[in-house]
């Protein structure tokens, strides 16, 4: 166990001139937020929002100094309960999981399902919960494996790869869209039945209504890609929108919604209600448990985070990066 008065963390600070610096350092536990539950963190993970916080983006990090990390898994210091925390305000704007200890409100804490280690929980993390929510929206929309192909855009990122794996696990015919030809074999091993270039999604989407191709879609890109997906879905399709790296604006008419009955489902994993969050984590540990995640997982320490952050900022990051804070259970 780390010293209760001195802990390792990744801290983002700014000087009087506003110059931001970030990196691993030592802090004391009395610097942590005054909250209900103190957790000894074993593993965290790296997400796109964390790269913004690490750059000192005030809209994400809030006031500086700041500890990023929107995911954390470990044990409650008071009683040893095995828990995880994702989303809510962890790491954005509150202090996050890139530290050996965190303090959070009690209602942020989710009991880790039996058999799900802290490491395995962070291989999923916010990305896995987001993918699970997207798949849940598709299933609740009564899209079935024999309804037709399901598109996943941005398929080589954490949410994309886990969506491919989860949909394939449930028997869906998954079409993965990516601009990274070198990752085709990885996508196939994760369950993609077909892989298309991301430009093909846009080429097939002329006019307010285009050829009906997709029974459902998980869009991790946003912008023009999401606009194109909406126009190329089949009647009664569900499009789960959970990304914005391609832009926040979409161009659409009411035709897909009124003439085809398309459902656009927004996925907010940070604000996922507690009961649904618990239900989905239980599924991810049991009926929806995925194999092969080690293949898309990269382990780093706090000292190695800067390299991984740079890869993600440059669009060169693949799969999931998890951050070791302590020995796993």
Average pLDDT over residues 255-261: 97
pLDDT of residue 317: 87
pLDDT of residue 24: 97
For domain 6-112+293-324, the CATH class is alpha beta
Q: Reduced to 3 DSSP states, what percent helix, strand and coil does the chain have, rounded to the nearest 5?
A: 35, 25, 40
- Token code pair at residue 324: 């070791």
Average pLDDT over residues 264-268: 97
pTM: 0.94
Strand order in the sheet with 194-197: 194-197, 174-178, 150-152, 214-219, 233-241, 263-266
71 sits in which H/E element: strand 71-76
Average pLDDT over residues 147-175: 97
207 pLDDT band, cuts 50/70/90, is: confident
Closest CA to 164 of 319, 49, 322, 7: 319
In this structure, the strands spanning 233-241 and 214-219 are parallel
Q: What is the 3-state secondary structure (H, E, C) of 120-154?
A: HHHHHHHHHHHHHHHHHHHHHCCCCHHHCCEEECC
Q: What is the pLDDT of residues 78-104, one digit of tens each?
A: 999 999 999 999 999 999 999 999 999
CATH number (3.40.50.720, 1.25.40.10, 3.40.50.300, 3.40.50.1580) of 127-266 reads 3.40.50.720
Average pLDDT, the chain: 95
Q: What is the 3-state secondary structure (H, E, C) of 228-242?
A: HHHHCEEEEEEEEEC
328 pLDDT band, cuts 50/70/90, is: low
What is d(CA 259, CA 256) in angstroms, rounded to the nearest whole number?
6
Average pLDDT over residues 269-283: 96
1 pLDDT band, cuts 50/70/90, is: very low
Closest CA to 51 of 271, 324, 323: 323
Written as one string, the DSSP assignment of 14-65 is E-TT--EEEEEEEEEGGGS---SEEEEEEEEEE-HHHHHHHTT-HHHH-SSS
Residue spans of the domains in the chain: they are 6-112+293-324, 127-266
Beta bridge partners of 83: 74, 111
What is d(CA 9, CA 24) in angstroms, rounded to the nearest whole number?
6
- How many beta carbons lie within 10 A of that of residue 127, not counting itself? 28
245 pLDDT band, cuts 50/70/90, is: confident
């Amino acid at each position: 166990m780390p010293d209760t008065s001195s802990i390792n963390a990744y801290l983002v600070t700014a000087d009087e001139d506003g110059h931001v610096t970030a990196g691993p350092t030592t802090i004391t536990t009395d610097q942590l937020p005054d909250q209900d539950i103190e957790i000894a963190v074993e593993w965290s993970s790296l997400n796109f929002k964390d790269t913004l916080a690490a750059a000192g983006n005030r809209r994400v990090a809030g006031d500086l100094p700041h500890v990023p990390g929107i995911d954390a898994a470990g044990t409650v210091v008071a009683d040893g309960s095995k828990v995880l925390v994702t989303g809510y305000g962890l790491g954005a704007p509150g202090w996050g999981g890139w530290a050996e200890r965190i303090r959070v409100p009690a209602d942020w804490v989710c009991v880790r399902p039996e058999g799900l280690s802290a490491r395995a929980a962070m291989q999923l993390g916010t990305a896995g919960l987001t993918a699970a929510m997207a798949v849940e929206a598709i299933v609740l929309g009564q899209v079935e494996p024999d309804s037709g192909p399901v598109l996943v855009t941005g398929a080589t990122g954490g949410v994309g790869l886990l969506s491919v794996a989860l949909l394939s696990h449930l028997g869906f015919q998954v079409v993965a869209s990516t601009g990274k030809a070198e990752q085709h074999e990885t996508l196939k091993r994760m369950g993609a039945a077909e892989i298309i270039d991301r430009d093909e999604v846009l080429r097939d989407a002329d006019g307010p209504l285009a050829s009906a191709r997709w029974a459902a879609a998980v869009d991790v890109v946003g912008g023009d890609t999401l606009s194109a997906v909406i126009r190329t879905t089949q009647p009664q399709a569900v499009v789960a929108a959970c990304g914005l790296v391609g832009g926040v604006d979409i161009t659409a008419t009411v035709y897909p919604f009124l003439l085809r009955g398309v459902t656009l489902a927004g996925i907010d994993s940070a604000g996922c209600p507690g009961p649904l969050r618990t239900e989905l984590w239980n599924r991810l540990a049991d009926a929806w448990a995925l194999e092969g995640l080690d293949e898309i997982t990269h382990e780093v320490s706090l000292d190695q985070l800067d390299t991984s952050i740079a890869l993600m900022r440059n669009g060169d990051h693949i799969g999931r990066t998890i951050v070791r804070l302590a020995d796993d259970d």
